[in-house]
Amino acid sequence: MTTSQMWAGKFNITDTDLDYLTNLLLERETPLSLETLALALIEKRLNDEAEKARKRYENILLYRPSETYSLGQRLVFPALDYAMATVTREREGFNPDSGDFTVIGVAFDDDEDHEREFASGLAVEHKLNEVDESNVAMPGIEQQSAEEILAEHGDKILASLRQRLQNNDDLISVAGKWFSRSLVLDVNEGHLNLAEAVLDIMGGGPLSPVEILEQIGSIGNGPAELQVYSLNYAMMHDSRFDEVGPVGQVLWYLTRLEPDEVKQVPHILRYTAIEYDPTLLTNEMEALVAELDDELSQIEPEQPRDLEEATIALIYPHRRAGTLPLNAKIRAVFPTALRTSRVWVTLVDGQDGEESVGWVVRDQRYVYGLNNLYRKHMLPVGAYVTVRRGDRDDHIVTDFRSHRPRTEWVKLITPKNNQLAFDEQKRAIGAEYDDLLILGTDDIAGVDAMGDQARQQKRPLASIIRIILAELARFSPQSAVHAKTIYSAVNVLRRCPPGPILATLVSNPDFEYVGNHYWKISER
């Protein structure tokens, strides 16, 4: 079994391994990443295995038929899976084709009771005589490099190492790098107060630790990298500061100056989970759920983790809150970070290049900071919004499919006596949209009031759907409404993914399916 196969089978971190890594950090006096520590540990194990193998094969000769051996000599047989044996006896041998030679008897280590005989001092050519000892890979001497082993079995090795490091009280992790707690520089309250003042002057941030240190001065006499690490560690444990950098970048922001919509989920985006039986959904319904790709549906992405571009159709809650859903597709485009729940980004208007601040609220699955884009270009509910990676890692271009404004018939939400009602009017629209999702309103305050009332009263989902179907049926000769339109309208009053809506349509006798995703109020 090769060393790499041993890594793949089981990679246990021993106390001796932890002592080695701790001493390594003490010697280098530099914080190291998990990958660097893993490579160092693998390299050590490779060297240890190689040393054991060298000692094991010390004074052991490679068996060749042309060579002669003395009693007691230790031999290794590459052709027999590197079995090792001891020469126990010898006798003369003769073969008309080979001439005189010596026959040696050997006892193998794994079967000492049974001897086998081999030729030695053989004068004729034999393929075993041509074996180059320098090219023989003895068992235990790994031919793979540490980098190759980590590339092949990295997930298992890194997970095992991370768990043991986290359970070690003397080791700490900051921004993906590990270090000994005892070597961290003392960052006092005065340093942190100065850091707060610097960020306050900058409107909250974000600033890198290097930029903060340039303003507040050095911390002790340690190396610059250790000063940065120590400052990050202290700020990480102070609630005044929030680390908002994407993967590979540390940025600090003042928590109290972050937008309220970032620190708390806007009311209109909050979802109270509705239990339903997913087996009620047909294959066509499941396909529709996947097409809508609501971030609350928690669909597993089929595309690669990193995408250059993704497009979604806006629904009312996100249009009203100035957010984007962090669904499977959008998540693959925006920068994220496992160590922090909020990531600061720069949003670039794809139409005119204007930049604005955006926030990826990873845990709650939305991106905040799109109000300016939506209002400036008067994007309707249902508009197709595209996000793509910018020239820098923290820049995201937000765009839409624009065209010269043209007059379209749009269903408008027109609250009447604080009740949901719809009207159809002409509006000038300069963006492509999904005609089954598009909605509008001239009374935002009235719609907000209806939504607040529905949330406070905890109005049942079936009741909301019934009202919507009754209202929207007026615009259809068949009195039927598409499931996507129902989904869009429901989310005006109550945040809800499509799964529970479709399950309610199927299970409630008040609703009747008429085909092709269209539903109506049952005549029964």
pLDDT tens for each residue of 111-147:
777 788 888 888 888 777 777 665 555 555 556 787 7
Residues 235-262, mean pLDDT to the nearest whole number: 91
Element spanning 312, H or E: strand 309-313
pLDDT at 356 over 90: yes
Q: What is the pLDDT of residue 366?
A: 94
Please report whether residue 228 resides in a domain.
yes
pLDDT at 455 over 50: yes
- If pLDDT is split at 50, 70 and 90, which confidence band does 311 have? very high
Q: What is the pLDDT of residue 132?
A: 65
Residues 251 and 201 in one domain: yes
Please report whether residue 271 resides in a domain.
no
Residues 164-173, mean pLDDT to the nearest whole number: 86
- If pLDDT is split at 50, 70 and 90, which confidence band does 149 have? confident
Residues 200-225, mean pLDDT to the nearest whole number: 90
Residues 38 and 146 in one domain: yes
pLDDT at 413 over 80: yes
CB atoms within 10 A of CB 36: 15
Q: What is the pLDDT of residue 1?
A: 46
Q: What is the pLDDT of residue 208?
A: 93
* pTM recorded for the entire structure: 0.75
Per-range mean pLDDT, top range of 21-35, 71-85, 200-214, 220-234: 200-214
Residues 205, 222 contacting (CB under 8 angstroms): no
pLDDT at 237 over 50: yes
d(CA 507, CA 93): 91
Residues 6+ apart with CB under 8 A from 75: 60, 61, 62, 63, 69, 84, 85, 86, 87, 106
Residues 301 and 374 in one domain: yes
Domain residues for the domain of 206 are 184-258
Higher pLDDT, residue 57 or 460? 460
Residues 304 and 401 in one domain: yes
CATH number of the structural domain spanning residue 111: 2.40.10
d(CA 90, CA 253): 82
The identity of residue 199, as a single letter, is L
Q: Of the candidates 406, 438, 462, which is a domain's last residue?
A: 406
Prior bond of 206 cis (ω within 30°)? yes
Average pLDDT across the chain, whole number: 86
Residues 392, 375 contacting (CB under 8 angstroms): no
* 458-480 b/e (C-beta count within 10 Å ≥ 16 → b): eeebeebbbbbbebbbeeeeebb
Residues 69 and 110 in one domain: yes
pLDDT at 296 over 70: yes
Q: What is the pLDDT of residue 52?
A: 79
CATH number of the structural domain spanning residue 240: 1.10.10.10
- How many structural domains are present in the chain? 4
